[in-house]
A and B are shown apart, each in its own frame.
Chain A
Amino acid sequence: MIGEEAGKKLIKKAMEERERAKKGLERRDDFETLSWVPVKRIYTPEDVRELNYDKDVGRPGEYPYTRGIYPNMFRGRIWTIRMFSGLGGPEDTNRRWKELMAHGETGLSTAFDFPTINGIDSDDPLALGEVGRCGVSVCTFEDMESLFSGIRPDEITVNFTINTPAEYILASYFALAKKRGIPISKVGGTTQNDSLKDFYSQKHYRFSPEAHLYLNTDLIRYCTKNAPLWNTISISGYHIREAGSTALQELAWTIADGVEFVRYLTERWKMDVDSFAPRLSFFWNAHDNFFEEVAKFRAARKIWAEIMRDWFGAKNPRSLMCRFHVQTGGCTLTYQYPETNIARVAIQGMAAVLGGCQSLHTDSYDEAICTPTDKAADIATLTQRILAYEIGATDTVDPLGGSYYVEWLTREMTEGAMREIEKIEKMGGATKAILDGYFWREIAKSASEYQGKIEKNEIIKVGVNDIKPESMEYSFEPLRIPLDLEEKRRKWLKEYRENRDGNKIDTILDTLRKTAEEMHDNKFDEPQPMFEHMYEAVNVKATMGEVMDALQDVFGRFREPPIF
């Protein structure tokens, strides 16, 4: 595929390396991780001499949880196989979910299309061309009903990757459970509900960081009281990494965001830390550098346990546990030789498993080209079964614990991240750091640095700067979302809007605006409940777009400065 001449050059290079190695020389001058941490030739007991096993590492299931949050980990049960999935209309996604469950998936995760993620209805002019494209379109309670046709909310847990309209989506799901006679106290699942990272990575914010912080924590408040099985937030580093941060920045910034949420809940909502902290969860990326990723997961548990105990005085052991979902790194997938992504995904998934994840999404090999095809999604799901049952990786807890390198790198990540978290604290916390432009500047720098290293061949990606194909090809038919879906949804919504009580809609939208105004006037210092009104909005058939537009009338539209 690279041609005869290029092949000859490669052989010549391999011969040169052999000659150099004979002389004791190495392939390159410097070896480093993807956070630019220099890596030594060998690690020995000397590198972990200062490490105190009981204090710094400990047994799994015990503080500081470096080795895992449960004593038996995957010997008890394996992680939840939770594939992020959604496409087309609610019926299309319902079909794909059933297909994935037939291939061994054990938990659901909803990918919404861009209009939904932004809180925009399918018939809004801004939704042009995007309905059902990279996720499922959901903007009414009836959509939620179709999405979960034949699936019981008390029999499987579901993740909603939703932030800006998280309250509307969750209220719809709770309304669905109630309609089916299931009390929401028995409904388990997760809302991503972390808008802070959106400002510098996922980029689907609508209002100011303060307004979103208020809405996110209002959902946490409501669930803490009414839905004890619901994971109220998935504090996300995944997108930060995808947007170009290093592993160390992903780790530090995500935890800094987490600190900001906990602070708002304890200081503004005046909630007891142990009342809500057991239901906070995290979401990490599994990128290319295998050992650094494992070290990152181990470090995350240790840092979160220490911060929750020492900064916030949490006493419930569950409040100290960093429970997390992992997704393999979408940005690491190559367009070139797409099938090689199956190997990348398996290795990244392995890092998540050896890092002790609670749930895992494995990417489909065709994702650099299109929304996953059925076959690619099935292979990704089956890959997790291989990790779980074929290769012996789950037979003992934290099998990499005690490796001189992994323990040393875990400490490097822990100390590096703590320094960064303290730096953000000194700026006044994550919200201030967002508004000051700190994350925008730093992430642009890291992303450019990464690209520079690719172009200088200091980071190798097979197919991109190693064994680059002469011409592009792949052997599958990319998935197509029919373009008439948008028109169908438009018609359906028009009818939907005509068949409801307009007065009730006006009343609830006014209530939402009034609550938002109160918040705006008190500068978000004295938060007022909003979720209950969202619930009412769902009940009277207000659409998601109407609800979000009402809030925008008050909160306004936030725009970030052009920093690159």
Chain B
Amino acid sequence: MRSRMSLVDLGSRPYFEMVQMIKPIKVLMAKPGLDGHDRGIKVVSRGLTESGFEVIYAGLWNTPEMIVETAIQEDVDVIGLSILSGAHDVLIPAITGALEGRGLLENVVVLVGGTIPLEDFDLLKRSGVDGIFIPGTTISEIAVMIKRLVKDKIGIELK
């Protein structure tokens, strides 16, 4: 996201858009905290790969700092966070907060999937989360949503 955004900042947007057209959307998939439920994140990671996305799978046991670091190093468009531990109200704002602290929250789409009560949607959205997926969401719904959000938030229509 750094290099891409710096191109936008430089005002070379038409060229940038051209480059983007041939690059797949890059998604970092990670589980924050100690939660071991990794069925969902693996199924979604596989599904997105099969749907043409480029998936970086960070897997289990990620601290908020580790997730932000990996997102920067891998230069991703989207961060997908899967959490079924009930700790989303603490860990997700810690991640979005760290992204904001480094000036990156505006340049990356942040998505959360898992057992999130409806009552917590506002809290997560206010912290900077762009989309929340509850159990029962299909891979195709997720894929469509990612493309739309990447277009709306980053302003670029990717492959």
Taking Cβ atoms with an 8 Å cutoff, the residues of A that contact B are 114-115, 117-118, 120, 125-130, 133-134, 198, 202-204, 242-244, 331, 334-336, 367-371, 444, 447-448, 451, 454-455, 461, 463-464, 472-474, 478, 481, 483, 559-560, 562, 564
Using CB atoms, name the residue of chain B closest to A564: B42
Does B1 interact with chain A (Cβ within 8 Å)? no
- Verify A129–B57 contact, CB threshold 8 A: no
Does B39 interact with chain A (Cβ within 8 Å)? yes
- Verify B46–A444 contact, CB threshold 8 A: yes
A228→B37 CA distance, assembly (Å): 34
Closest CB of chain B to A445's CB: distance in Å? 9
A464→B140 CA distance, assembly (Å): 14
* Other-chain contact of A560, B59, B87, B136 (Cβ < 8 Å): B59
Does B33 interact with chain A (Cβ within 8 Å)? yes
Does B74 interact with chain A (Cβ within 8 Å)? no
Does B69 interact with chain A (Cβ within 8 Å)? no
- Verify B45–A461 contact, CB threshold 8 A: no
- Verify A128–B94 contact, CB threshold 8 A: yes
* Other-chain contact of A242, B39, B63, B94 (Cβ < 8 Å): B39
13 contacts between A and B (CB under 8 A): A114-B35, A114-B87, A115-B34, A128-B87, A128-B94, A129-B91, A334-B135, A335-B134, A335-B135, A448-B47, A473-B118, A560-B59, A564-B45
Does B117 interact with chain A (Cβ within 8 Å)? yes
- Verify B43–A130 contact, CB threshold 8 A: no
Closest CB of chain B to A111's CB: distance in Å? 12
Using CB atoms, name the residue of chain A closest to B60: A203
Type the 1/0 row for B41-73, where 1 means its CB is closer than 8 Å to any CB of A.
111011101000000011110010000000000
A114 contact set on B, CB distance < 8 A: 33-36, 85, 87
Decide: A129 near B39, CB < 8 A? Known: A115-B34, A334-B136, A335-B136: no
Decide: A120 near B34, CB < 8 A? Known: A128-B91, A370-B115: yes
* Other-chain contact of B47, A134, A367, A451, A559 (Cβ < 8 Å): A451
The size of the chain B interface, using a CB distance under 8 A, is 36
A115 contact set on B, CB distance < 8 A: 34
Taking Cβ atoms with an 8 Å cutoff, the residues of B that contact A are 33-39, 41-43, 45-47, 49, 57-60, 63, 85-87, 89-91, 94, 115, 117-119, 134-136, 138-140
- Verify A564–B46 contact, CB threshold 8 A: yes
Decide: A203 near B38, CB < 8 A? Known: A244-B43, A448-B47: yes
- Verify B85–A336 contact, CB threshold 8 A: no
A455→B115 CA distance, assembly (Å): 20
A239→B57 CA distance, assembly (Å): 22
Seed contacts A120-B34, A478-B117; 19 additional CB < 8 Å A-B pairs: A114-B33, A114-B87, A128-B63, A133-B87, A134-B85, A242-B39, A243-B38, A367-B115, A369-B115, A448-B43, A451-B47, A455-B138, A455-B140, A461-B136, A464-B136, A473-B118, A483-B89, A562-B59, A564-B43
- Which one of B36, B57, B90, B139 has the greatest number of beta carbons of chain A within 10 Å? B36
A129→B119 CA distance, assembly (Å): 18
- Verify B39–A335 contact, CB threshold 8 A: no
Closest CB of chain A to B13's CB: distance in Å? 34
A203 contact set on B, CB distance < 8 A: 36-38, 60
B57 contact set on A, CB distance < 8 A: 562, 564
The 9 A-B pairs with the shortest beta carbon distances in the complex, nearest first, are: A129-B90, A203-B36, A129-B87, A114-B34, A564-B42, A478-B117, A464-B136, A562-B57, A133-B86
A171→B105 CA distance, assembly (Å): 47
* Other-chain contact of A474, B43, B45, B118 (Cβ < 8 Å): B118
Decide: A448 near B46, CB < 8 A? Known: A130-B87, A134-B86: yes
Using CB atoms, name the residue of chain B closest to A243: B39
- Which one of A118, A369, A483 has the greatest number of beta carbons of chain B within 10 Å? A369
* Other-chain contact of A472, B34, B38, B118, B138 (Cβ < 8 Å): B118
- Verify A204–B36 contact, CB threshold 8 A: yes
Using CB atoms, name the residue of chain A closest to B86: A133
Closest CB of chain A to B65's CB: distance in Å? 10
A244→B60 CA distance, assembly (Å): 17
- Verify A126–B63 contact, CB threshold 8 A: yes
* Other-chain contact of B135, A130, A368, A371, A447 (Cβ < 8 Å): A368
Decide: A244 near B118, CB < 8 A? Known: A114-B34, A368-B135, A444-B46: no
A128 contact set on B, CB distance < 8 A: 33, 63, 87, 90-91, 94
B42 contact set on A, CB distance < 8 A: 244, 444, 447, 564
A99→B6 CA distance, assembly (Å): 59
- Verify B39–A244 contact, CB threshold 8 A: yes
B41 contact set on A, CB distance < 8 A: 564
- Verify B86–A371 contact, CB threshold 8 A: yes
A559→B117 CA distance, assembly (Å): 31
* Other-chain contact of B138, A130, A335, A454, A473 (Cβ < 8 Å): A454
- Verify B33–A129 contact, CB threshold 8 A: yes
A448 contact set on B, CB distance < 8 A: 43, 46-47
A334 contact set on B, CB distance < 8 A: 135-136
A564→B82 CA distance, assembly (Å): 14
